Structure 1
Amino acid sequence: MLKLHYNLEKVSMGLVAAIIVAASIGGIVEIAPLFTIDETVEIPEDMRPNTPLELAGREIYIREGCYACHSQMVRSLADELDRYGPYSMTSESAYDRPMLWGSKRTGPDLARLGEKYSDSWHVQHLLDPRSVVPASIMPSYSWLDQDLDVDLIKDQLMTLAKLGVPYNEEMIKQARQDLFAQTQPDSDFVEGLNARYGERVAVRSFDGDVSRLTELDALVAYLQSLGQLTLQPYDLFEEVAQ
């Protein structure tokens, strides 16, 4: 085998051809299963896509590079289950474009973060991390206390719908309205929001200021939705535990 490789090194074009063949085999092995993804990934009945506000928060999460320090995938290892809870399921990321599983854990995994801490804790943690976690090395994101740009939200839903996320025409049409409604519990539009995304959607002023819609509102709404788009992993985890 070593002799064959040694001889290939003498013939540059032969070595290039061998590399292409090896890479092609590896590529086929990785890509082929994707053609049957619809058959292998069963989406839970209670699974929902992100609301417009959560989606806006997800875009901020990506913009600020949060994925570089936080993963969103709990592995099926005992210590991870003890720390974070149920392991992540493929179906939970079925509507993610792009997926944010990550592999770097400068900070803790966030896959099960939703509703673990209060909104005020998240706001304070984002504005001044060390005020709630003294040993934190996370930078401050004080600029998030600015008005949220909502001009592109309908276009974002339309784009994701074309990529397979189940946003229907009504969701796209009412995107801007639903975005504001999620931070205004007394709004007449909350009923429509719940009809489109379900009763488990968190409806409240996430940054504590009902007079403004800020990037903090959006990002905290997204963080509180992590691990909450379907309850299937928790149900399965309890069944196994019993």
Structure 2
Amino acid sequence: MFRKLLKPFARFFELHARTHYRAERHSFALAAGIILAASVGGFIEIAPLFTIDETVEAAPDMRLYTPLEQAGRDIYIREGCYACHSQMIRSLQDEVDRYGPYSLAVESQYDHPMLWGSKRTGPDLARVGEKYSDDWQVRHLVDPRALVPGSVMPQYAFLLDAELETGSLPDRLAALRAVGVPYGDAQIVNAAADARGQALPDTDWADGVAERYGEETNIRHFDGRSGELTEMDALVAYLQILGGLTDLPAEIQAARGD
């Protein structure tokens, strides 16, 4: 019974093996086959890009990462946080119920690289911004198990003592502008000062941050300490803006009545 069912497949694979063997004996035929296969695969990957304007939503209120938040994002990537946390809420009801509105393409249009991911050793962080206080975020990063018993997350207490390097921020923002992130000249030139101003609200630098990135920009001591600017400031500033770059996802969810 099974032999009769498998017989057509056996013939197909035998024919395929003979054809492949013949092609290998003729270099031009083999090269043509490789080009054809690569062309088909390339077309499948490239074709969707022609409809990119239809797939990326319009979000007039979409704002850019501040230099401090961008520095925090770089630290997040440097420490491998993306390996355990995704930043992509799928449109499944249980995910929407747990994490919030499903992720939109427009929310990642300025992310280089994007951090969607599929690995969830820890929870998805796409909507974690302002879900917890700055103090909670700092204490959680310093000693995860003190707040979440059984957590396997590493400790990042050293970030409190690591001074944030800001000298390279203008060049980093300029590099992002080269790949499509619309940073202005003033934002690039003042990147280092704006990073300090966002975490040091009692300084003259803070006014410039609000002027260049909007009055709703989070400006405060993210690590709970005044004085020096730390990598903890940057990472917490980044975590607190996740899901807050645009109100469009919440507006779509409200319109759908979810």
Bin for the TM-score computed over the shorter chain: over 0.9
Pair 1:67-2:82 in alignment: yes
> 1:10, CA displacement in angstroms?
1.7
Counterpart contact for 2:200–2:227, Cα < 8 Å: no
Pair 1:123-2:134 in alignment: no
> 1:22, CA displacement in angstroms?
2.7
User: Which residue does 2:129 correspond to in 1?
Assistant: 114
> 1:238, CA displacement in angstroms?
1.3
Change in 2 beyond 3 A, CA 1:60/1:106 = same
Counterpart contact for 2:55–2:105, Cα < 8 Å: no
User: Which residue does 1:21 correspond to in 2?
Assistant: 36
Pair 1:219-2:235 in alignment: yes
Q: 1:104 aligns with which of 119, 125, 146?
A: 119
User: Which residue does 2:20 correspond to in 1?
Assistant: 9
Pair 1:207-2:223 in alignment: yes
Give the distance between the partners of 1:162 and 1:229, measured in 2 at CA: 21
> 1:187, CA displacement in angstroms?
2.3
Counterpart contact for 1:43–1:94, Cα < 8 Å: no
Give the distance between the partners of 2:189 and 2:218, measured in 1 at CA: 21
Give the distance between the partners of 2:38 and 2:144, measured in 1 at CA: 45
Give the distance between the partners of 1:54 and 1:64, measured in 2 at CA: 15
Q: RMSD over aligned Cα, in angstroms?
A: 1.7
Length, aligned pairs only: 242
Counterpart contact for 2:199–2:219, Cα < 8 Å: yes
Corresponding letter in the other structure for 2:108: S
Q: 2:194 aligns with which of 178, 187, 192?
A: 178
Q: Secondary structure at the match of 2:37?
A: helix
Give the distance between the partners of 1:139 and 1:16, measured in 2 at CA: 50
Change in 2 beyond 3 A, CA 1:42/1:78 = closer
> 1:40, CA displacement in angstroms?
3.9
Give runs of aligned pairs for residues 17-166 of structure 1, distance below 5 A: 17-38=32-53, 40-145=55-160, 146-166=162-182
Q: Work out which structure has the larger RCO, using CA pairs closer than 8 Å and 6 or more positions apart in sequence.
A: 1
Structure 1 range deviating more: 42-51 or 128-137:
42-51
> 1:35, CA displacement in angstroms?
4.1
> 1:17, CA displacement in angstroms?
4.7
> 1:197, CA displacement in angstroms?
1.1
Runs of 4+ in 1 over 6 A off after TM superposition: none
**Percent of aligned positions that are identical:** 57
Corresponding letter in the other structure for 2:114: M
In structure 2, runs of 5+ residues without a counterpart are 1-11
Question: Which of 1 and 2 has greater Rg?
Answer: 2
Give the distance between the partners of 1:36 and 1:241, measured in 2 at CA: 28
Change in 2 beyond 3 A, CA 1:230/1:163 = same
Corresponding letter in the other structure for 1:187: T
In structure 1, runs of 5+ residues without a counterpart are none
Structure 1 range deviating more: 140-149 or 11-20:
11-20
TM-score (structure 2 length as normaliser): 0.88
Q: Secondary structure at the match of 2:240?
A: helix
Deviations 1:67-107 (A, max 9, x none): 11110000000110010000000000010111111111111
